[in-house]
């Protein structure tokens, strides 16, 4: 289905690289099928070309005209600088996939011709190792075949959940930003481990397997996360002692607030910039 498709990435940041690396690693696309461009960073394009063998270009208009699937992966604030200039090259033969945090399909559709299919996706950087949690929603002109194409792409690099537009910013706070929360927790655990006498190598191996095992246990269990962590605790034990510190520092409340703050930021990114005052 995707053998002959040409895929263009508008944007070359970490999310674009994660998707490119995942698509090539899983052999869903070849490097020859992928072209990447960005606003001005030629060294970044050269880096991606050297690592993945993809095509890169600064001829954006021509690249858009030649593409079958256009992935919007620039910073959300750059969307309005780029899209209006490309409207004439994007017709209803193309599929536009947006991975822009906070940007609604209607915002993108407003700058495109009528009946151009837009699918919004929120993957995460675990796409690079085919372990992303991706949510999809469709724009008004997107048909089942367009959603199926997006699902095919993103299911090659992890799980896919189809949802509605009104939930996508919540997805951003939970799974879009989610890997960073885990990495921060791992960093803190590694610092504590080395302070307690373990080598960095020992700490890393133990922490990774602990996180991995806990994720599998949660996936395979009918119990809630709360029930599972309480199983680990015994009265007067080490885990209970650890949780006394977590509670005193409002760990769970802080994490809840962090997720909701990320969601709120996604809401803000999706709002149009205020008109400059004259």
pLDDT means over runs of 10, the chain (278 residues): 90 94 93 93 94 95 95 90 86 95 92 90 94 97 95 95 96 97 98 98 98 97 98 96 98 98 93 60
Annotated binding-site residue? 13: yes
Please report the pLDDT score of residue 144 as a whole number: 95
Annotated binding-site residue? 11: yes
- Helix, strand, coil abundance in the chain, percent, nearest 5: 55, 15, 30
CATH architecture assigned to 7-168: 3-Layer(aba) Sandwich (3.40)
Taking the C-alpha atoms of residue 105 and residue 141, their distance in angstroms, rounded to an integer, is 10
Delimit the domains of the chain by residue range.
7-168, 177-269
Please report the pLDDT score of residue 1 as a whole number: 64
- Structure letter (DSSP) for residue 37: E
Minimal CA–CA distance to 98: which of 11, 178, 162? 11
Please report the pLDDT score of residue 111 as a whole number: 86
Annotated binding-site residue? 15: yes
CATH architecture assigned to 177-269: Orthogonal Bundle (1.10)
Please report the pLDDT score of residue 258 as a whole number: 98
Please report the pLDDT score of residue 12 as a whole number: 95
Annotated binding-site residue? 75: yes
Query: What is the CB-side half-sphere exposure of residue 42 using CA atoms within 13 A?
Result: 2
Query: What is the CB-side half-sphere exposure of residue 277 using CA atoms within 13 A?
Result: 0
Please report the pLDDT score of residue 114 as a whole number: 78
Annotated binding-site residue? 74: yes
Annotated binding-site residue? 235: no
Quick count: other Cβ atoms within 10 Å of Cβ 219?
7
Quick count: other Cβ atoms within 10 Å of Cβ 276?
5
Taking the C-alpha atoms of residue 68 and residue 93, their distance in angstroms, rounded to an integer, is 7
Annotated binding-site residue? 276: no
* Contact call for residues 181 and 126 (beta carbons, < 8 A): no
């Amino acid at each position: 289905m995707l053998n002959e498709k040409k895929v263009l990435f508008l944007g070359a940041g970490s999310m674009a690289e994660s998707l490119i690396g995942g698509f090539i690693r899983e052999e869903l696309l070849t490097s020859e099928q992928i072209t990447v461009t960005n606003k001005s960073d030629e060294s970044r394009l050269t880096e991606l070309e050297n690592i993945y063998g993809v095509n890169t270009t600064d001829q954006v208009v021509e690249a858009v005209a030649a593409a079958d699937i256009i992935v919007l992966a620039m910073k959300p604030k750059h969307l309005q600088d780029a899209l209006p200039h490309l409207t004439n090259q994007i017709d209803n033969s193309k599929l536009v996939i947006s991975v822009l945090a906070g940007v609604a399909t209607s915002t993108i559709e407003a700058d495109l011709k009528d009946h151009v299919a837009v699918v919004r996706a929120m993957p995460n950087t675990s796409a690079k190792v085919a372990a992303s949690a991706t949510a999809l929603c469709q724009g008004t002109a997107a048909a089942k075949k367009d959603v199926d194409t997006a699902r095919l792409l993103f299911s090659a690099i992890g799980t896919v959940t189809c949802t509605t537009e009104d939930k996508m910013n919540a997805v951003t706070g939970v799974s879009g930003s989610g890997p960073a929360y885990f990495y921060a927790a791992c960093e803190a655990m590694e610092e504590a481990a080395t302070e307690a006498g373990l080598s960095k190598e020992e700490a890393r191996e133990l922490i990774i397997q602990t996180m991995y095992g806990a994720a599998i246990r949660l996936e395979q269990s009918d119990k809630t996360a709360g029930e599972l962590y309480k199983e680990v605790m015994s009265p007067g034990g080490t885990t209970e002692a650890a949780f006394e510190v977590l509670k005193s520092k409002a760990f769970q409340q802080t994490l809840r607030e962090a997720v909701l703050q990320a969601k709120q930021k996604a809401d803000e990114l999706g709002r149009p910039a205020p008109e400059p005052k004259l």
